[in-house]
A = this chain, B = another copy of it.
Amino acid sequence: MIKARVTVTLKNGVLDPQGKAIEHALDALGFGGVGSVRQGKVFDIEVDSTDKAKVEADLNAMCDKLLANTVIENYAVEIA
Contacts and interface: CB of A to CB of B under 8 A. Distances in A.
- Give how many copies assemble into the complex: 2
Contacts of A39: 41-44
Interface residues of A, number: 32
Nearest to A48: B33
A41 B44 contact: no
A1 to B, nearest CB: 7
Interface string A52-66: 000000100110011
Given A22-B67, A66-B26, A34 B47 contact: yes
Interface of A: 1, 7, 9, 19, 22, 25-26, 29, 31, 33-49, 58, 61-62, 65-67
